[in-house]
Amino acid sequence: MNKDLISVIVPVYNVEEYISECIESIQDQTHNLLEIILVDDGSTDSSGETCDRYAKSDSRIVVIHQKNKGVSSARNSGLKRASGDYIGFVDGDDKIVPSMYEEMLKTIHVHHSQMCVCTKHIFHDRILKNSNIGKNQITNKEAIMELLQMNFPTSLGSGLYERSLVKNLYLNKEIHYWEDFEFQLRVLDRAKLISIYDYPLYYYRQRNESANHQQINDKVMSCLKIAPYVNRFIISNYPEYEAESRELYTVFLQIVIGYLSKSEIVHKKYFKTITKNARKYLLYAIKSRNIRLLMKIYIILCVIDARIFWKVYRTIKGIQTRNRRS
């Protein structure tokens, strides 16, 4: 039997409907030498109490209660507490298959790698493939290139990491959306060899978002901070990938514009920030072969003023909706 201890870090915030299923999927792992760290990030529902109840009946479970600081802070609290030989992450509303950590650990030992990533299954929908890499192991430089091209999994839940890769490494607390991306880059920088387990072991719950959750907000806007961090890191450590890292400026700009288009009410500060970023990265967008023509038009409208794009887009969508109903 493998004697490696795996610390599983679970950020928990207002997931009372799902947290029991999540915890039990970890408890039921065929590799049962686990340290299960549940970080209650100031939940206002019964999630924290549920965590405490499970801890009373399973000595492998440790519960940390903290004021609400966001998922990055919650994971950082878990990282500081973790004592395992390997580290895994599971979100409080997701679940994992019983053999996940046994299979990934076995793969790491067979390939003599420092980490392993698996495929995700999106609840009630589809299997999300990691990439089209077509290999069962890659070097860190190959993985970084795939990450910059959005082919490598950014989600920490898809990975199992040797402790040395995340020692004294923490998520950026300024980033609250797509926060895994920048952290994953720094982890890959430390790895030498990465194993790929091309089978869905992690079940990601894609909840139907309400109209309110689709609105643009500070959390979504924080993803615009990712590209500058990544670009500086790449220039310092992998200058040959600078062109690929520059593409990220427009990748995250497109994400924010997508949320802007769905928002019914938008604070003026968001218009200002999006306009500023569109003007700054317009040339990258125009030259990019990865951006659809329609999105390039959206970005050009945002260069004039993001408010103009928003008004035009919402007007057109309103007309289309009325026409479908008539």
Instruction: pLDDT band for 211, please (50, 70, 90 cuts).
Output: very low
pLDDT at 65 over 70: yes
pLDDT band at 209 (very low <50, low <70, confident <90, very high): low
For residue 207, pLDDT over 80 is answered with: no
CB 42 within 8 Å of CB 71: no
Mean pLDDT of the chain: 92
Could you tell me the domains of the chain?
6-204 (3.90.550.10), 237-325 (no CATH)
Residue 69 pLDDT grade (very low, low, confident, very high; cuts 50, 70, 90): very high
Question: What's the pLDDT at 208?
Answer: 61
Give the pLDDT score at 210.
42
pLDDT of residue 326: 65
Mean pLDDT value across residues 268-275: 97
Q: Which residues pair with 40 in a beta bridge?
A: 12, 65
Q: What is the pTM of this model?
A: 0.91
pLDDT value for 191: 97
Dihedral pair phi/psi, residue 193, rounded to 5°: -140, 135
List, in sequence order, every residue forming a beta bridge with 149; answer none if it has no partner.
none
pLDDT digits (tens, 9 = 90+) for 5-43: 999 999 999 999 999 999 999 999 999 999 999 999 999
Average pLDDT for 160-171:
97
pLDDT of residue 262: 92
Given a cut of 60, whether residue 129 has pLDDT beyond it is: no
Give the pLDDT band of residue 121 (cuts 50, 70, 90). Answer: confident
pLDDT at 212: 47
By mean pLDDT, which of 90-94, 210-214, 232-236, 265-269 is the weakest?
210-214
Q: Give the model's pLDDT for residue 205.
A: 87
130 has a pLDDT exceeding 80: no
> Which of the residue ranges 73-82, 195-204, 301-310 would you say has the lowest mean pLDDT?
195-204
Query: What is the predicted pLDDT for the residue at 1?
Result: 54
Confidence of residue 199 (pLDDT cuts 50, 70, 90): confident
